[in-house]
Amino acid sequence: MRFLVVLSAMLAAAVPAHADSTRLGWPLQPRPAVTRGFDAPAPNWNRGHRGVDLAGAPGRPVYAAGPGTVVFAGELAGRPLVSISHPGGLRTSYEPVRATVRAGQLVAAGTPIGVLIAGHVGCPAAACLHWGAMWGPAARADYVDPLGLIAETPIRLKPVRLVGVPGRGPPAVAPP
């Protein structure tokens, strides 16, 4: 029984508490083709691609990938975008999108938030949605691949080496 309690605690520590509440849906329907993948910069201030580009068509609805609060809907640096804050500290961004929502508005997963417009640089399709995801405050955000947060992407836990369990690792040594 003690083994199950220890294993349960280890699994709980391995999966962030917010993981189940931040599983997202696709922001375009039907499921779009990915035209450019996520390329995290290292360190965070270097060049990179802090999101994914999804093929679409101008005028097509863009949907909230998960429930949350719209924190920005307008133009930023000349680009029209929408940003949504989700429970657990995740934020998603969508551009170029002509917003049909306003800052402060609560949205459910799948709520239309605007329409896709043409003009995303480097897009090989008629229009591309740049979809980003980040954890933490904007000034210190950690960008993550939004495709890894899609609900249909299976969560895989790495094997844990169990210390002190017969046949599962070396015996535990008590500290001196």
Q: How far apart are CA 47 and CA 126, in angstroms?
A: 25
What is the location of CATH 2.70.70.10 in the chain? Answer: 22-149
pLDDT band, residue 97 (cuts 50/70/90)? very high
Q: How far apart are CA 123 and CA 36, in angstroms?
A: 8
Q: What is the pTM of this model?
A: 0.72
**For residues 141-157, average pLDDT:** 79
Q: Are strands 61-63 and 52-56 parallel, antiparallel or unpaired?
A: unpaired
* pLDDT tens sequence across 122-141: 888 889 999 999 888 766 77
Q: Does the pLDDT of residue 17 top 60, yes or no?
A: no
CATH class belonging to 22-149:
mainly beta
